[in-house]
Chain A
Amino acid sequence: MDNMQFDLLALLPELVVLGMAMFILLLDLFILPQNRSMIYGLSQFTLFASAFFTFKTHTPAVGFAFSHMFIDDTLSDVIKLMMYLSTSLILVYTRKYLQDRNLYRGEFYAMVLFGLLGMMIMVSGHNLLTIYIGLELLSLCLYSLVAFDRDNPKASESAMKYFVLGALASGMLLYGMSMLYGMTGSLDVSDIANNIMQQNKSPVLIMGLVFVVAGIAFKFGAVPFQMWVPDVYQGSPTPMTLLIGSVPKLAAYAMTVRLLVQGLHPLALDWQDMLVLMAVLSIIIGNFSAIVQTNLKRMLAYSTISNVGFIMFGMMSANANGFASSFFYIAAYVLMSISGFGIILLLSRKGFEADEINDLKGLNQRHPWYAFLMLIVMFSMAGIPPTVGFYAKFTVLQAAWQAGFTWQVVLAVLMATIGAFYYLNIVRKMYFDEAVDHAPLTAPLDMRLVLSVQTLALLGLGLFPEILLSVCGHSLLISLQ
């Protein structure tokens, strides 16, 4: 019975999010539309409260719940804290957009919180089924959020694409998991690892691995499972693009650590090869395709694919240094992409999406400060110091080099130069071209303030990367022990 108490303590943040999400869903039925900001406030409060509980209940020791189906370790706590922060930023940035388009409804917030819950479960999943349940909860929320603006045919189309391909990927993941279960007789991540070590590698095991890796690659959007990314990014309303493109990457990373590192490390030599291929292809295809885009969101989608390639560069090293560097990369990337989409949201207004590259023309004349912020984001994505993006690229490249991937590193460096071209193109439009659109900014003060602080943090972390580097490195090392 003592055990049961501990169980619930480990789950406290999840319970808070779950309870609040249901409460918000109910409350929304009873309040007047003009009091909707209460829902917004409650959602932010929920994030704060679960951050508080995650922080308070944190111990260096690993906690389990529900007979090892749920794990509460340092890595999961750190990732969850990052998720709360990112989600909170997203809520700040999306509010105005939703209000302008009559999408400011309680369901949005409930869905975001349920999606967050799904991600938290993925992060803490120590059992194939837990991970899968978390993933499905997240995916269902994301599908419906993409279709949230139901009168928008483009959004419905991309929701459909996302759903069909996403369901396919989930199916593959589940199929792979079933093979792993068949060969090892267990769904528990550590049991699977122990079991594989005691047996010879069989083709079925490798087949299972292939499907699991494919499922992971789909969630990341790595080549050759990248097809959905550009369409969904472009077709979704910008707040949903922001949601899809940022926090779930953290969850996907945690899922990769649980499945590939903690569960399947005896097969590291096999999945390493797959990751190498996907990493290299993602960087090449992502960067080349991004060059020709005229739509900002689509360009950022291809840029995501190339960034995922860099993330895989760290993972393919298949050692702690590599995974720590990927973690740092993702943390930095999530911050960058939230800033980037945040600026798009800031510039958009009723009837104007600001999602074409040409919409940024002459931004320096109109709003030098926001042009400067976008400049930071773009140089950070291009990996130019002194921004955090440089350290992100640096850490994964040094990890890959250490693991002996010499020519891949040189290739990645060449591709980074190509990548710089399309980021520079944005800067060029903002600074060198004449403004075409002269409408004033209508964003509320809190959004401007938070966006400024967050984007300057990209610069701050670029000058002093030590804090984030050590947080990422230590939490991973503690959890892998």
Chain B
Amino acid sequence: MMQADLTSISWLSLAVWLPVLSGVLVLLLGGDHKATLTRWLALTGSLVSFLVTVPLYTLFDVQDGFFQFEELLPWVPAFNMHYHLGIDGFSMPLVLLTSFTTVIVVLAGWEVITNHIAQYMAAFLIMSGIMIGVFTALDAILYYVFWEAMLIPMFLVIGIWGGPNRVYATIKFFLYTLLGSLLMLVAFIYLYHQTGSFELADYYLLPLSLQAQIYIFIAFFMAFAVKIPMWPVHTWLPDAHVEAPTGGSVVLAAIALKLGGYSFLRFAMPIAPDAAHYFSTAMIVLSLIAVVYIALVALVQKDMKKLIAYSSISHMGFVTLGFFMFGQLALEGAMVQMISHGFISSAMFLSVGVLYDRVHSREISAYGGVVNKMPVFAAFAVLFAMANSGLPGTSGFVGEFMVILAAVKFNFWVAFFAATTLIFGAAYTLWMTKRVFFGNVTNHHVSELSDLNKREFLILSILAVLVIGFGVYPQALTEVMQATSAEFLKHMAISKLPVTGY
């Protein structure tokens, strides 16, 4: 009886709109002169928003490979658009990741942000709702509205609270993403005129010629590859990450990049499966370039945030690599990699934030011997660095290992190049850790450092628990996506080319 009541609640709508509403509330009630109220209000909002996403996990039926928690309402009958939400094994973990990260971001900005605090908190809350909307929308235009709307708060976050070069970075971020998205809109318009609807399910069933599929795939690729980002359209990301405030970097790395990866699975691949097979070699090559070349680029960075940004691109290369090998192990490995990267990159950016708040420098050379002054923090940082380089026992290992394992079966050379990341990843991460944390105290800034406060300790320990937890027990993740990935591969194996014809 209780169970029935719980399932009748519109959990997804709550997950989308609660954070948006709490963001608006923070804007209306908060302000710089009542900062404490604003912070607590934002924290309450984000916690409640996180709590309403928990039932999505507990009530999720792991046997069902199709959409669950569906909500369907007419929205714009003139164009046959619907308010259609639903989640499957791919999107459910991402929804939880989003609502969880928002809590972390609110905590991370607690006393660091002092100007326009209400706008800062509200931007992240609203963004959280919008991103959950992207992960749950099953109507193409609804999805598109969320996808684009997300740019507005992010644009403001980087531009208002970012570093010295923030205006350039944020405009570049916006225009890069917008251009890709608009081409995706053209693809949706095409599909609309083919099917007369914006329902994703109709697009899955629509037979398309290879020519059409290739165009559609390219249009989607422009939108998603920019977002992930894949080499060579990645150049906005180091700029945006470096200039964004800590919270902005965390959201960008932990969630925004996943929007691109997720959308490949939700749109580009199932709508144009033959084109996906057609382009798979190219996609694998691009992914490997990201994995190897970008890792080398990361090695020579002098700026900590930039290094982590490049490391993100390199890790996301694994995700696309996993997608385009069309195997269950590879696919699940890629998904695990996305979630795990969400935690690890958040933790890395937060660690840099901890240092930046004290010294106001992101240069590696400005530090040295931090461990002498901040032993607790150094312990956390080394743990996250290990996770970032894929040490077994951390969540970073699981995804990479699954993808490499799948690659060995797929093609030796693909596996070979993919595996180099274990070396390069360790090289750039550990070298940075060595230079920043170990050795003697190099300057008076470092000698004046004080160790983590309670708030920072809390945030980092939550993340540490998750990183180790998923490293030891990855089944918690793989089990929810098993049925979905099986269905997905079944769908991908069926050609959509018209049977009659040439």
Contacts and interface: CB of A to CB of B under 8 A. Distances in A.
B186 A385 contact: no
Q: Classify the interface of chain A: helix, strand, loop or mixed.
A: helix
Contacts of B151: 384
Interface stretch (B177-185, B367-375, B436-444): B177-185
Contact of B167 (A379, A428, A469): A428
A466 B76 CA distance: 5
The majority secondary structure among interface residues of chain B is helix
Nearest to A419: B178
B119 A368 contact: yes
Given A413-B185, A466-B75, A466-B77, A379 B178 contact: no
A385 B148 contact: yes
Nearest to B176: A417
Interface string A412-425: 01101100110011
B108 to A, nearest CB: 22
Interface in A216-240: none
Nearest to A465: B76
B367 to A, nearest CB: 29
Interface residues of A, number: 33
Nearest to A425: B171
Interface in B407-431: none
A385 B183 contact: no
Contacts of A432: 159-160, 166-167, 170
Interface in A398-418: 398, 401-402, 409-410, 413-414, 416-417
B193 A398 contact: yes
Contacts of A428: 159, 167, 170-171
A109 interface: no
B148 A397 contact: no
Contacts, number: 86
A432 B160 CA distance: 5
A375 B156 CA distance: 10
Interface centre among B77, B78, B119, B185 (most CB of A within 10 A): B78
A402 B159 CA distance: 39
Contacts of A390: 145, 148
Interface in A404-462: 409-410, 413-414, 416-417, 420-421, 424-425, 427-428, 431-432
Contacts of A394: 141, 185, 189
B149 interface: yes
A402 B182 CA distance: 17
A424 B189 contact: no
- B interface bracket (residues with beta carbon within 8 Å of A): 20 to 34
A386 interface: yes
B182 A413 contact: yes
Contact of A469 (B76, B160, B166, B179): B76
A397 B186 contact: yes
Nearest to A420: B178
A466 B152 CA distance: 23
Contacts of B179: 414, 417
A397 B193 contact: no
A385 B189 CA distance: 16
A464 B179 CA distance: 25
Given A385-B149, A466-B78, A431 B159 contact: yes
Given A401-B190, A409-B189, A428-B170, 14 more contacts: A364-B160, A384-B151, A386-B145, A398-B189, A398-B193, A413-B182, A414-B179, A416-B182, A420-B178, A431-B156, A431-B159, A432-B167, A469-B79, A470-B78
A245 interface: no
A95 B78 CA distance: 38
A435 to B, nearest CB: 13
A398 B192 contact: yes
Contacts of B119: 364, 368
B67 interface: no
Contact of B149 (A386, A397, A420, A466): A386
B155 interface: yes
A424 B171 contact: yes
Contacts of B185: 394, 397, 413
A385 B75 contact: no
9 contacts: A385-B144, A386-B145, A397-B185, A397-B189, A398-B189, A413-B183, A420-B178, A427-B156, A469-B76
